[in-house]
Amino acid sequence: MAVCALNKMVAEGIFSDEKLQDVEAIADTYNYAPIKAALNFGFLTRKEYTSFLEKENYPFVDVRNEEMDGAYIDQCDIQHLNSFLYIPLRKLDDGRLLVAAADPFDEKLRNSLFAKFKMEIKIVATSDLDITWLAHKIRGEFHVKEAVFSLMRKDPASSGLITFTDGQLFFIFISLASLITLLVLFFTTTFIVLNLFASLLFLFSITFKLFLAMKGSMSELHEHVTKADVKKVDNDTLPVYTILLPVYKEDKLIRKLIWNLRSLDYPRAKLDVKLLIEEDDDKTLNAVKNLDFPANFETIVVPFHMPKTKPKACNYGLYFSRGEYLTIYDAEDVPDSDQLKKVVALFRKLPDEFVVMQGALNYFNKNENLLTRMFTLEYSYWFDYMLTGLETLDVPIPLGGTSNHFKLNKLLELVHGIPSMLQKMRIWVCVCTINNIKWVL
Q: Among 73-82, 115-124, 158-167, 177-186, which is the least confidently predicted range?
A: 158-167
Average pLDDT over residues 352-370: 83
* Band (418; pLDDT cuts 50, 70, 90): very low
Q: Give Cβ neighbours of residue 366 (< 8 Å, ≥ 6 apart).
A: 372, 373, 375, 376
Q: Name the residue range of residue 192's domain.
A: 166-217
Which tens digit of pLDDT belongs to each residue from 199-247? 999 999 999 999 988 888 876 555 577 788 888 889 999 999 999 999 9
Question: Helices 282-289 and 254-262 meet at what angle, rounded to 10?
Answer: 60
Q: Among 28-42, 69-83, 337-351, 413-427, which is the least confidently predicted range?
A: 413-427
Picking from 188, 217, 246, the residue at the C-terminal end of a domain is: 217
* One domain for residues 236 and 209: no
Picking from 120, 139, 158, the residue at the C-terminal end of a domain is: 139
Q: Does residue 155 lie in a domain region?
A: no
257 burial via Cβ count (<10 Å: 0-12, 13-18, 19+): buried
pLDDT at position 438 is 33
pLDDT at position 198 is 94
Picking from 139, 158, 179, the residue at the C-terminal end of a domain is: 139
* One domain for residues 78 and 192: no
Q: Does residue 323 lie in a domain region?
A: yes
Domain CATH code at residue 406: 3.90.550.10
pLDDT at position 417 is 55
Q: Which helix (DSSP H) or strand (DSSP E) does residue 2 occupy?
A: none
pLDDT at position 431 is 35
Q: Which helix (DSSP H) or strand (DSSP E) does residue 301 occupy?
A: strand 298-302
Residue 9 to residue 31: CA distance in whole angstroms: 21
Residue 16 to residue 38: CA distance in whole angstroms: 12
Distance of alpha carbon 341 from its chain centroid, rounded? 18
pLDDT at position 428 is 42
- The closest of 293, 306, 281, 309 to 257, measured between CA atoms, is 293
* One domain for residues 173 and 57: no
* Dihedral of alpha carbons 101, 58, 254, 10, sign: positive
99 burial via Cβ count (<10 Å: 0-12, 13-18, 19+): buried
Domain CATH code at residue 93: 3.30.300.160
pLDDT at position 401 is 77
Q: Does residue 108 lie in a domain region?
A: yes
* One domain for residues 117 and 252: no
pLDDT over 70 percentage in the chain? 92
Which tens digit of pLDDT belongs to each residue from 274-303? 999 999 999 999 999 888 878 889 999 999
pLDDT at position 32 is 95
Average pLDDT over residues 22-31: 94
Q: Among 2-6, 45-49, 59-63, which is the least confidently predicted range?
A: 2-6
* One domain for residues 124 and 238: no
Q: With a cut of 90, say whether residue 392 has pLDDT above it.
A: no
pLDDT at position 426 is 42
Phi, psi of 202 (to 5 degrees): -65, -40
Amino acid at position 106, single letter = D
* One domain for residues 113 and 206: no
* One domain for residues 232 and 212: no
pLDDT at position 440 is 37
pLDDT at position 430 is 40
* One domain for residues 235 and 213: no
* One domain for residues 361 and 301: yes
SS3 for 77?
Answer: coil
Average pLDDT over residues 363-386: 86
Q: With a cut of 70, say whether residue 421 has pLDDT above it.
A: no
The number of folded domains in the chain is 3
Which tens digit of pLDDT belongs to each residue from 108-157? 999 999 999 999 999 999 999 999 999 999 999 999 998 888 878 877 77
Residue 300 to residue 277: CA distance in whole angstroms: 6
* One domain for residues 209 and 233: no
Which residues are paired to 347 by β-bridges? none
8-state DSSP, 427: E
pLDDT at position 337 is 87
* One domain for residues 396 and 266: yes
Q: What is the pTM of this model?
A: 0.86
Do 279 and 136 meet the contact criterion of CB atoms below 8 Å apart?
Answer: yes
* One domain for residues 111 and 10: yes
